[in-house]
A and B are shown apart, each in its own frame.
Chain A
Amino acid sequence: MLNAAFMQRALLAALLIGVTAPAVGLYLVQRRQAIMGDGIGHVALTGVSLGFLLNTSPVWMATLVASAGAVVMELIRERGRTRGDIALAMLFYGGMAGGALIIKLSPDGSMANLTSYLWGSILTVSTADIATVGVLAALVTAITFGLRRQLFAVCQDEEFARVTGLPVRLLNLLLAVTAAVTVTVAMRVVGLLLVSALMVVPVAAAQQVTRSFAATQALAVGIGVAVSLTGTTASYYQDLPPGPAIVVLAMVVFGLIGVLAVPLARRRHRTGGGGAEPAACDLVLPGPREDTGSGQGPARGAALAE
């Protein structure tokens, strides 16, 4: 298997995807934007088609268009949630429909060309592709690990992060573009329709058993690499599309960890010294009125304040 040159390229691409997709997805999930990768994938489809139409590299064109789409999504998010979901939905559908229409306009493009981008393929990863993917993956890794503390702070509590003097908007846009780049890194092997799954599922699987961000990051990347390599290998031997194989494997890992997490948590609860302690402190009073309910005066003051 390893003697086939296309397989070496596919496995290398799978490794890079396994690292980058969960590394970026972690921040999106932290910000409760798990679905954003999906939207970028849809927009990237227009980029791929444009690449065919203009006879340039579909990967670079997809990177460009997906980045632009991600920046627009981020600006919509920043401006408030009132109609943000509708605007995002429009972007999703526009990207998908635009991609399908443009590919029909291009002379040598067909729906068949798009299919390999939609579902991924290990046969189509060219030498030029792997160079592009390598450069982009290095960029994504440098940002997601190098700026870990900054991105964590922004995704954890944006309002607080602003008061620590962080350039919040710049970091948000950087994260959006990084997510877009990751989508195009992953699309050759996993496919645009399932890219988001590899960003989200390893993180979801890992966080069932972790308590800290650092541990979640390490475990999610570990799971990502494992399922990417295994899924790509399986698709070589069984002639399966690699994207769906990788994603189903990730789901299986999610389920296994979920099953293991229950007894693990129970044992931790039993062995942890302070296991019984929180039960006494977890009593949260609903409001200040109850807190001072014993005294007549304060209670009346609170009532006036309502």
Chain B
Amino acid sequence: MTSPPASAGTGTAPAVRLLGGAASLGGRPVLRGVDLTVRPGEVVSLLGANGSGKSTTIRAVMGSVPLQRGTLELFGTPYGRFRAWHRVGYVPQRTSAASGVPASVREVVSTGRLSRHGLRPFRRRDREAVDRALDAVGMLDRAGDGVGNLSGGQQQRVLIARAMVGEPDLLVMDEPMAGVDLASQQVLADTLEREVRRGAAVLLVLHELGPLEPLIDRAVVLRDGCVAHDGPPPPAAGQHALPGHDHVHPHGGDHDRRARTTAPGLLP
């Protein structure tokens, strides 16, 4: 699925299709019927206040939170039967990339290739893919270092390399910019841009659009577990899209996404 974004969405199955998704955490309903579609090559940002259900939506799409109601399809396949995990790259909300035992940057990124090589041995092309992903986030020179010794921003770059190393058609990221220094933010924005140009669809949770703003095709704003807005990203700094702002954009129904993505200057 390397079709350019401009031709995407016509006939091809959406990368993500969540219809009427409802989920609870600890008995409290967090999602009350969320509709979310991400078409191939599209960049969709989930916005909303803390507790509005952004992360839960992402985790429901990735199967970490079970859906109580609603249907979920990935690339046109119902979630229960979906096996093409090599098409998905995931950056979970970060606490730390480190665990109880030292692990090198290369070892952590290599786990992203498991969806490709599975039980077969780790081959040269897997190693080359790891090198490319590390190079893309500017961490190749730190490949042998322990992830525990990296800064938060550097750890985040490693986790994004891990998600990219399988060359996925869909990248799902939960707050990739949280706690990341400015230099790393720019590296992440550049990396993401290359992935989008390669044809990957992206679904990401953001607190605000920030340096990723030019890449975003569509913003889905959640409020109390419901979709409050689904349409073009707010032009300013995201204030219009944020809960507490009463004005709801009259973009109901289908918006012409194709016109947006082919608009000059949007994708450099």
Query: Beyond A149-B122, A212-B104, is A284–B151 a contact (Cβ under 8 Å)?
Result: yes
Q: Give the number of chain A interface residues (Cβ < 8 Å).
A: 51
Min C-beta distance of A208 to chain B, whole Å:
9
Query: Beyond A163-B88, A165-B83, A281-B153, is A149–B99 a contact (Cβ under 8 Å)?
Result: no
B114 interface residue, CB < 8 Å from A? yes
8 A Cβ contacts from A12-44 to B? 26, 29-32, 34
A31 near B237: Cβ-Cβ < 8 Å: no
**Interface SS of A by simple majority:** helix
B62 interface residue, CB < 8 Å from A? yes
Checking B88, B102, B122, B177 against A211 with a beta-carbon cut-off of 8 angstroms, the contacting residue is: B102
**Interface SS of B by simple majority:** loop
CB-CB < 8 A to B244: which residues of A? 304
Stretch at the interface among B36-44, B178-186, B256-264: B178-186
A213 near B102: Cβ-Cβ < 8 Å: yes
A156 interface residue, CB < 8 Å from B? yes
Please report the C-alpha to C-alpha distance between residue A126 and residue B177 in the assembled complex, in whole angstroms: 60
A291 near B62: Cβ-Cβ < 8 Å: no
B153 near A150: Cβ-Cβ < 8 Å: no
Q: Mark A270-306, 1 if CB is under 8 A from B, else 0.
A: 0000100010011111111001100101101110111
Checking B101, B111, B179 against A164 with a beta-carbon cut-off of 8 angstroms, the contacting residue is: B111
CB-CB < 8 A to A298: which residues of B? 208, 210, 237-238
Q: Give the number of chain B interface residues (Cβ < 8 Å).
A: 64
A305 near B207: Cβ-Cβ < 8 Å: yes
A160 near B162: Cβ-Cβ < 8 Å: yes
Min C-beta distance of B38 to chain A, whole Å:
15
CB-CB < 8 A to B180: which residues of A? 284-285
Query: Beyond A150-B114, A288-B178, A288-B208, is A164–B85 a contact (Cβ under 8 Å)?
Result: yes
Q: Which residue of A lies closest to B119 (CB)?
A: A150
CB-CB < 8 A to A213: which residues of B? 101-104, 107
8 A Cβ contacts from B177-211 to A? 177-183, 185, 207-208, 210
Which of A's residues lie within 8 Å of B, judged by CB?
26, 29-32, 34, 149-150, 152-153, 155-157, 159-166, 203, 207, 210-216, 274, 278, 281-288, 291-292, 295, 297-298, 300-302, 304-306
Task: Name the 5 nearest CB pairs between A and B, nearest first.
Answer: A165-B85, A212-B104, A153-B111, A211-B146, A284-B152
CB pairs A–B below 8 angstroms (12 shown) = A150-B119, A152-B107, A156-B111, A161-B114, A163-B62, A163-B172, A164-B111, A165-B118, A213-B102, A214-B107, A304-B244, A305-B207
